[in-house]
């Protein structure tokens, strides 16, 4: 098993501290913040899982994961990935004016948005593959991975962006030949007319159906999850599941959640 986690709220918390101390402490770029949260969240997850594990000989380790992106990706011109806390419209407009952030409205308020280029390659895939082959549980790709671009030879350069964790999860799952991809989120399934009076869960989607609804889904939340699940199903011929923690057991046997089928 490979566990991938998000880090949006944690990066947002650090960004708030950076803004509060900008006059005294040099600010850090987003790639460094992703690396920092990979370490802190990975530590908490590894410690907790190890303490609760029924397998005393199974190691649990967090791998600092870099993900290569294309510097010419059009996402750099269209920031869409939400990070950090929610703001009122008044506070969002003030931050846009004062700090120069891009902010966008959502269901719970306004939130900062940053570029989210597509992941092309996981730099540490060989290490992850070897650890999984030995039966260890690996925490990797945290926050979508530290975004980097390639230079000459083995050179890597950090990029001021955030990679979508769901797309990185799918890329890793395909590369590892995973049995299935499971994406856990805040709702129990993908919904038609989500938030509307006629909202209804979708139990399963074939690839053509998934592509048809992609444009109707929020680009910074459920959209990438369906896109990631679709990519895994088409690349491997295996199913991908989208659900929440409370419904996971029932969803794994087809009684809840949304399955993207090959």
Model confidence pLDDT, tens digit, residues 57-68: 789 999 999 999
**What integer pLDDT is reported at residue 57 of this predicted model?**
79
**How far is the CA of 227 from the CAs of 43, 53, 103, 147, 181, in angstroms?**
29, 32, 23, 20, 12
Q: Where are the domains of the chain?
A: 1-78+115-162, 179-262
**pLDDT tens-place string over residues 221-238:** 799 999 999 999 999 999
Distance (Å, whole) CA 214 – CA 10: 28
Residue 173 has pLDDT above 70, yes or no: yes
Is the CATH code 3.40.1160.10 the one for domain 1-78+115-162? yes
**How far is the CA of 73 from the CAs of 11, 161, 192, 231, in angstroms?**
22, 11, 30, 19
**What integer pLDDT is reported at residue 191 of this predicted model?**
93
Worst-scoring range by mean pLDDT, 69-78, 113-122, 163-172, 216-225? 216-225
Residue 121 has pLDDT above 90, yes or no: yes
Half-sphere exposure of 225 (CA within 13 A, CB side): 25
**What integer pLDDT is reported at residue 259 of this predicted model?**
98
Using N-to-C axis directions, what is the helix angle for 222-236 and 207-214, rounded to 10°? 160
Distance (Å, whole) CA 33 – CA 25: 15
Q: Which of 79, 94, 99 shows the shortest CA–CA distance to 19?
A: 99
Residue 183 has pLDDT above 70, yes or no: yes
Residue 220 has pLDDT above 70, yes or no: no
Contacts (Cβ under 8 Å, ≥6 apart) of 35 = 64, 146
Residue 106 has pLDDT above 90, yes or no: no
Strands 66-68, 146-150: pairing kind: parallel
Q: Is 188 helix (H, G, I), strand (E, B) or coil?
A: coil
- The reply to whether domains 1-78+115-162 and 179-262 share a CATH topology is yes
Q: Regarding predicted confidence, which is higher, 30 or 198?
A: 30
Residue 195 has pLDDT above 80, yes or no: no
Residue 218 has pLDDT above 80, yes or no: no
CATH architecture of residue range(s) 179-262 = 3-Layer(aba) Sandwich (3.40)
Output the pTM of the full model: 0.88
Residue 32 has pLDDT above 90, yes or no: yes
CB atoms < 10 A from the CB of 161, how many?
A: 24
196: tokens are 């509307």
**What integer pLDDT is reported at residue 100 of this predicted model?**
84
For the ranges 31-45, 91-105, 187-201, the one whose mean pLDDT is highest: 31-45
Section 166-180 average pLDDT: 97
**What integer pLDDT is reported at residue 216 of this predicted model?**
84
Distance (Å, whole) CA 187 – CA 244: 6
Distance (Å, whole) CA 81 – CA 255: 31
Q: Regarding predicted confidence, which is higher, 62 or 199?
A: 62
């Amino acid at each position: 098993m490979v566990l991938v986690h998000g880090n949006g709220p944690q990066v947002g918390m650090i960004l708030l501290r950076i803004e509060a101390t900008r006059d005294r402490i040099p600010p850090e770029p987003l790639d460094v913040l992703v690396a920092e949260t990979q370490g802190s969240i990975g530590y908490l997850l590894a410690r907790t899982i190890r303490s609760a594990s029924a397998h005393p000989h199974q190691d649990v380790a967090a791998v600092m994961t870099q993900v290569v992106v294309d510097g010419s990706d059009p996402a750099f011109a269209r920031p869409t990935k939400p990070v950090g806390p929610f703001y009122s419209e008044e506070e969002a407009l003030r931050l846009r004016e004062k700090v120069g952030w891009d902010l966008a409205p959502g269901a719970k308020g306004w939130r900062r948005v940053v570029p989210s280029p597509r992941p092309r390659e996981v730099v540490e895939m060989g290490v992850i593959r070897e650890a999984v082959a030995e039966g260890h549980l690996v925490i990797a790709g945290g926050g979508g991975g530290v975004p980097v671009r390639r230079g000459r030879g083995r050179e890597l350069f950090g990029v001021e962006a955030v990679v979508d964790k769901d797309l990185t999860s799918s890329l890793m799952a395909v590369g590892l030949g995973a049995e299935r991809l499971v994406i856990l989120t805040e709702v129990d399934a993908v919904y038609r007319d989500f938030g509307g009076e006629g909202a209804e869960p979708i139990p399963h989607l074939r690839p053509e159906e998934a592509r048809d609804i992609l444009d109707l889904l929020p680009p910074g939340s459920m959209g990438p999850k369906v896109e990631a699940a679709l990519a895994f199903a088409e690349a491997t011929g295996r199913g991908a599941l989208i659900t929440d923690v409370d419904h996971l057991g029932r969803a794994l046997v087809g009684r809840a959640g949304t399955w993207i089928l090959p």
